[in-house]
Structure 1
Amino acid sequence: MSDSSGDVEKDYRYWTNDDRRHHNNDGASQEEEQPHLSHEQEVLREAAEPPFTETGGDDDDAATENDGRNNGETGAPLGPVVSAKPSVTNVKSVPNGGLTAWLQVVGAFFLFWNTWGIINTFGTYQTYYESGILASSSPSDISWIGSVQAFLLMLVGAITGPVYDAGYFRHLLIGGSLLSVFGQMMLSLCTKYWQVFLAQGICIGLGSGCLFVPAVAILSTYFSTKIATATGLAAAGSSLGGVVYPIVFYRLQPSIGFPWATRVLGFMMLATLGISNSVMRVRVPPTGRRKMLDLTAFKEPPYVFFVAGLFLAFMGLYAPFFYVQSYAIETGIANPRLAFYLLSIINATSTFGRIIPGYVGDYIGPLNMIIPCSLLAGVLCLCFMAAQGIAAVIVVCAFYGFFSGTLVSLPPTIFVTLTKSRAVIGTRMGMGFAIISIGLLVGTPIDGAILNNSGKYEYVWLFAGLLTIAGTLCIVGSRVTKGGISILKKV
């Protein structure tokens, strides 16, 4: 190319839009060949760069051109702008950090604290009920209270997902908080099985269901590449709540009685949920009402395999949470005072099992992270069969808490990964949790029925462990259909 052509190429960056179009039509310039980028690289590049657009519409363009002529210029340059109305489908506008974004993590932390944290506390209530106000009921009957509570937590997500997408986040937050606190306060007045079932199983379960999906769905509007870390930190609230609430109940119940010990927990729920209501804000306004179901999700093998895997895994997941205390007491492995802390050990180590795998999942992919953790959780559940001493039981509880924690913290992130359109994240997440809730509903009562008929906890651990391993195999199917067989690919 001649020197004059080189000068033209050098000055090309100073041309106006009209000059560029004219030059390209004449074929006087050639575009440089752009390197090929993968889909993941395109997403990361778009997330890191602000959107570029021309300012104004047709009328604004005409006015800008007139102003440019008056100033000796011939057009308006392109430049980065901030969208006045961020879109939920535009990953480029996601803040991925900042004070407001991390405040949402704090708010979601306390929502997890009062949803899954309450579910994780039920093992203490199970042990108390068996020798307390519900001593005439069987362990299987009592476990139905906790399983219905967990079932409603996820099932209500099938409704609250689309409601959240329609813009009613604040309504769900306030309504769920009131239901949860009201149910806890009513529990303090209960003396019969049906009363406990309505207050703890139904009322708190409905309140938790209103809070859970918004807790995880709102984080996807504030974080993109850090979504697994943010969700892991928020999900740690369920573990810490599962540590604090049982200890408070266990320490206070002998001295002030069941009613007031339960009310103290209710006041703690009121205070912590007040924090969530104070700091959580919707970043992206709704674009319109969403449909209740997105049936196209069931045509996507990764989504189907993943939901099926969690359905099986959650059938077995909560057996140690509900029965490890009574197992240690009835088999003579530990005295009641020491056996109580086994559930707290599971919940304490589960805190790290939510944060650390979530952080690592941002680098290697959440699906790649959940598979080994889920598999080890199943194997550790089987290890309870061989744990005959208190030291062995404590070790198994500690590791089980860590690896089982990922099954609570990572699924919301994976649902975001498996959903192409961010506009239906709430809908698909709610659909998935509704199906998974059935596994939660029937899992622990089946464990109780096995225990009633056989009288052996070994069969309970065998049933729960094999179900968790079977669920892991389905999640492997989701990983392969989504990212192929290469173990090095981030999925």
Structure 2
Amino acid sequence: MSKTESTSYTETQNDRVSEEVDLSSEIVVHTEETDETPPDKGYAWVILLAGVMNYMMPFGSINAFGVFQTYYLLTMFPNEPARHISWISTMALSCSYLCGIFASSLIARFGLRGTNLIGTLVGAGGLLLASFCTKIWQLVLTQGVIFGIGSSIIVNVSVVVPSLWFEKHIGIAIGAIISGSGLGSLVITPITTQALKALGIPWTFRILALMFLVFTGFGSIVFKPRRHFVSAKSVINLKHLKDPVALLLCFSGFFMLIGYTSILLYFPASIVALGETKQLSSNLIMVFSAFSMAGRILSGQLARRLGSIKILIVNHAVTGIVMILLWNLGKSLPAYIVAFALIGLFSVPLFTLSSVIIANHYPKKYISQVNGLVSLFMGTAAIVGIPLIGLVFDVVGKRTDFKWVKIIGAICFFITIIFFVLLRSVLLKSDPKYRLSPL
């Protein structure tokens, strides 16, 4: 993304001032402590560290969900249908996105620190309650809904804060923060694997609850805006759906998440189906996480030079091809390892670049709302997609054949390319300056 692309939406869209005045009843001015230091310097890097730590636990735990999925399928609930078990991960993932729409109004009411603290307490509480659960419906409620709600609040705060502290390095900052999910997987996966083996699932959840409290609690101490800013007070503003940029990002996120969850939840189990051990499948989750972390950071860095949408188109095309040729047609462990590494590297840039596009295209007061709207579509995708894929695995795959899980995931990544092409066209037409920038 070039320098011209990073020009603030509020600076280039003066014709929308009257519209923003009409919405003024939804806005509240923050009174938190602020810091008028220049952007991209000093305290901004403390904010960046807190954002990385915030992302480590919510999505680090979800990225490591393959460990739980394998444990549930093979150990805890071996006689339960996969589509029933999948509701645990469905609600964890969907609530982690769906409930992001509430973050804007919480920030308006409680500020950045207060909102982050609410997310910390709710998320840690969900994991603690999960430690006492023995049935699927109980885990759906605790590890799924409650943990997911806390996570959604945490991550939405984390993608808003860098837009207040970074300007020149906004893409790198958001990429680094979101890469925390990959870093979290590298930490959480081995801890979860060893704790399940040595201590059992109750103490595994208690350890994760304590980690969630400590890591995300840091943001509740250090987060603050760099200067006074306004935040949309309403939970959601459907007027944003009239903007084709928001709408296309929403549909892209919807299909991408279905494809991504097919990888997240079933790749580890497909390794075991090759005849390999659960320990190896857990180790490969760490490989995936390392490449995923690199992919998120690199996409943010390369966006300014190559253009966000070009990166998205190429990466999703590569992901779909690898899923078909290596994961689906490959029948050996080396082929699976290469596939998992490449998918980890190329499948994740939308998590970073959608937030970058939103931060550059919308006024700061609307960033949380639009991120929440995109998250709403992603959460809906989880509710629709995960049970559907579980049903296909149960009925068509007879709980042993992963072929159609892989094909569905690949098709979803290919579909997103259509929306990216349309998004590029819309941005080029909406602002002449984009014609001089890589996009």
User: Shorter-chain TM-score: which interval?
Assistant: 0.7 to 0.9
Structure 1 residue 285: Cα displacement: 2.9
Change (3 A) 1:177 1:393: same
Specify the alignment match of 2:48 in structure 1: 105
Query: SS of 2:199's equivalent?
Result: helix
Distance, in Å, in 2 between the alignment partners of 1:447 and 1:149 is 16
Q: 1:476 to 1:296 in 2, by over 3 A?
A: same
What is aligned with 2:259? 316
The change in CA–CA distance for 1:259 and 1:41 in structure 2 (over 3 A counts) is closer
Q: Quote how far apart the aligned CAs of 1:289 are.
A: 5.5
- After TM superposition, give the deviation of residue 475 of structure 1 in Å: 1.7
- Structure 1 residue 404 and structure 2 residue 368: aligned? no
Q: 1:329 aligns with which of 249, 272, 275?
A: 272
1:425 aligns with 367
Q: One-letter code of the match for 1:474? A: F
Distance 1:94 1:152, change over 3 A: farther
Matches within 5 A, 1:204-219: 204-219=147-162
Q: Shift in Å at residue 159 of structure 1?
A: 1.6
Residue 252 of structure 2 is aligned to residue 252 of structure 1: no
Aligned mates of 1:244, 1:226 — CA distance in 2: 27
Question: Any idea what the Cα deviations from partners look like across 1:220-279, whole Å, max 9, x if unmatched?
Answer: 111122111001111111001112212111112222222222222222222212322222
Q: Which amino acid aligns with 2:337?
A: I
Structure 2 counterpart of 1:346, one-letter code: F
C-alpha deviation, 1:438, in angstroms: 0.6
Q: How many residues align?
A: 409
Note if contact 1:302-1:477 (Cα within 8 Å) is conserved in structure 2: no
Unaligned runs of 5+ in 1: 1-37, 48-85, 88-92
Q: Which residue of 2 aligns with 1:71?
A: none
Alignment pair present for 1:232 and 2:180? no
Structure 1's 166 and 381: CA in aligned 2 closer, same or farther, altered over 3 A?
farther
Query: Does the alignment pair 1:490 with 2:432?
Result: no
CA deviation after TM superposition for structure 1 residue 375, in Å: 2.2
Q: Tell me how far apart the structure 2 counterparts of residues 417 and 223 of structure 1 sit (CA, whole Å).
A: 11
The answer (yes or no) to whether the contact 2:113–2:219 under 8 Å persists in 1 is no
Displacement, 1:42?
10
Name the TM-score, length of structure 1 as normaliser: 0.78
2:378 to 436, 449, 474: 436
**Tell me, what secondary structure is at the counterpart of 2:328?**
coil
The change in CA–CA distance for 1:213 and 1:139 in structure 2 (over 3 A counts) is same
Give how far 1:39 is off.
10
Q: Distance in 2 between matches of 1:295 and 1:464?
A: 29
Q: Separation in 1 of the partners of 2:88 and 2:218?
A: 28
The offset of 1:170, in angstroms, is: 2.1
Match for residue 219 of structure 2? 276
CA contact (8 A) 2:124 2:212 kept: yes
| 2:388 maps to which of 425, 446, 467 | 446
Cα distance, 1:379 vs structure 2: 2.1
When normalised by structure 2's length, the TM-score is 0.87
Q: 8 Å contact 1:166–1:286 — kept in the other structure?
A: no
Question: 1:140, CA displacement in angstroms?
Answer: 1.6
| Change in CA separation of 1:318 and 1:488 when aligned onto 2, cut-off 3 Å | farther
Query: Aligned runs of 1:41-120 on 2, under 5 Å?
Result: 43=7, 95-120=38-63
CA distances 1:23-57 after superposition (whole Å, capped 9, x unpaired):
xxxxxxxxxxxxxxx9939949x99xxxxxxxxxx
Partner residue of 1:5? none
State the match for 1:343 in structure 2. 285
- Residue 294 of structure 1 deviates from its aligned partner by 3.2
Which stretch of structure 1 is more off in the superposition, 467-476 or 259-268?
Answer: 259-268
1:294-350 deviations in Å (ceiling 9; x for gaps)? 333222222222211111111111111101111121243x23332222222111110
Instruction: Using the TM superposition, give the Cα deviation of residue 351 of structure 1 relative to its aligned residue in structure 2, in angstroms.
Output: 0.8
Aligned partner of 2:299 in structure 1 is: 357
Q: Where does residue 9 of structure 1 map in the other structure?
A: none
Within the candidate set 476, 480, 487, 2:421 is matched to 476
Q: 1:381-400 counterparts in 2 under 5 A? A: 381-383=323-325, 384-400=327-343
Q: 2:4 aligns with which of 12, 37, 40?
A: 40
> 1:112 and 1:217 mapped to 2: Cα distance?
13
* Code of the aligned partner of 2:392: I
Q: C-alpha distance in 2, partners of 1:42/1:325?
A: 39
Give the Cα–Cα distance (whole angstroms) in 1 for the partners of residues 344 and 418 of structure 2. Answer: 20
1:150 is paired with a residue whose SS is helix
Alpha-carbon shift at residue 149 of structure 1 (Å): 0.9
Matches of 1:209 and 1:42 in 2, distance apart? 26
Look up the SS of the partner of 2:329 in the other structure: coil
- Structure 2 CA distance for aligned equivalents of residues 104 and 194 of structure 1: 37
Judge conservation of contact 1:353–1:402 (CA < 8 Å) in 2.
yes
Would the alpha carbon gap of residues 287 and 244 (structure 1) be closer, same or farther in structure 2, given more than 3 Å must change?
closer
- Using a 3 Å threshold, how does the CA distance of structure 1 residues 193 and 292 change in structure 2: closer, same or farther? closer
3-state SS in 2 of match to 1:225:
coil
- 1:286 CA displacement: 4.3
Map residues 6-17 of structure 1 onto 2, 5 A cutoff. none
Q: Contact (CA 8 Å) 2:292, 2:348: kept in 1 or not? A: yes
Measured at CA, do residues 276 and 292 of structure 1 come closer, stay the same or move farther in structure 2, by a change above 3 Å? closer
User: Residues 296 and 389 from structure 1, CA distance in 2 versus in 1: closer, same or farther, beyond 3 angstroms?
Assistant: same
Partner Cα distance (2:281, 2:102) in 1: 39
Q: Once the 2 structures are TM-superposed, how far is the Cα of residue 190 of structure 1 from its aligned partner?
A: 1.2
**How far apart are residue 441 of structure 1 and its match?**
2.1
Q: 1:292 to 1:273 in 2, by over 3 A?
A: closer
Q: What residue identity is the alignment partner of 1:129?
A: Y
How big is each residue's C-alpha offset from its partner over 1:391-429, in whole Å with a ceiling of 9 and x where there is no partner? 01000000100112212222211212332x222111122
What are the equivalent positions in structure 2 for 1:140-159 lying under 5 Å apart?
140-159=83-102
More displaced stretch, 301-310 vs 284-293: 284-293
Distance 2:83 2:6 in 1: 52
